[in-house]
A and B are shown apart, each in its own frame.
Chain A
């Protein structure tokens, strides 16, 4: 399923770095909350 406005956001699970620890984070962990998901090209890039 491809993401589109007005449609459910595809759920996912990912390894993450959070507050100095490594954790698994799922979009579904944030049910009932507003979420901003920001993709970016890579760490150590310039903008």
Chain B
């Protein structure tokens, strides 16, 4: 979670609220913040740390592991209408790539604001496409895989 915390300013600038969730209690979150996270990130993690004891929230999001009694690594991007736009679920040993989270938020915001679509590997400033009858069968004229 500290990897998200160090890029929090970038997420905040994009208007993204971060909520972290685990099956630990809010009391454990407090001690983790004080004993460890605050030593990895200045001031500790700046976002709410939610307690999902019993795994009810994790079950609703399909990330609760009943045998282990934990929420596995799941990341969801939710738009201002409350619609899930993206999800990524990983087993515990592999951490997330926060840069990819930021890229996806930038892409979803761009799509929402412009109605354009973003091809594979898009980052801000790169070519976007305007879907419509004229584009059918003609994507190759505007976009090639080496632009990804």
Q: Residue on A with the closest CB to B43?
A: A19
Given the interface contacts A8-B83, A8-B84, does A18 sit within 8 Å of B48 by beta carbon? yes
B135 at the interface (CB under 8 A from A): no
Q: Tell me if A39 and B86 are in contact (CB < 8 A).
A: no
Q: Residue on A with the closest CB to B15?
A: A34
A-B contacts at CB below 8 angstroms, number: 170
How far, in whole Å, are A11 and B82 apart by their CA atoms in the complex? 9
The listed residue with most B CB atoms (<10 A of its CB), out of A4, A39, A44, is A39
Q: Tell me if A5 and B4 are in contact (CB < 8 A).
A: no
How far, in whole Å, are A7 and B72 apart by their CA atoms in the complex? 21
How far, in whole Å, are A23 and B23 apart by their CA atoms in the complex? 16
Q: Tell me if A39 and B75 are in contact (CB < 8 A).
A: yes
How far, in whole Å, are A5 and B86 apart by their CA atoms in the complex? 6
Q: Tell me if A5 and B22 are in contact (CB < 8 A).
A: no
Q: CB within 8 A of B75: which of A2, A30, A36, A44?
A: A36
Count contacts on B: residues with CB < 8 A to the other chain.
63
Interface readout for A5-45 with B: 1 if CB under 8 Å, 0 if not?
11111111011111000110101001111111111111111
Inter-chain contacts of A34 with B (CB < 8 A)? 14-17, 77-80, 105, 109
Inter-chain contacts of B79 with A (CB < 8 A)? 34
Q: CB within 8 A of A35: which of B16, B25, B30, B71?
A: B16
Q: Tell me if B24 and A15 are in contact (CB < 8 A).
A: no
Q: CB within 8 A of A12: which of B31, B32, B60?
A: B60
Q: Tell me if A17 and B49 are in contact (CB < 8 A).
A: yes
Q: Say how far A42's CB is from chain B's closest CB, in angstroms.
A: 5
Q: Say how far A11's CB is from chain B's closest CB, in angstroms.
A: 8
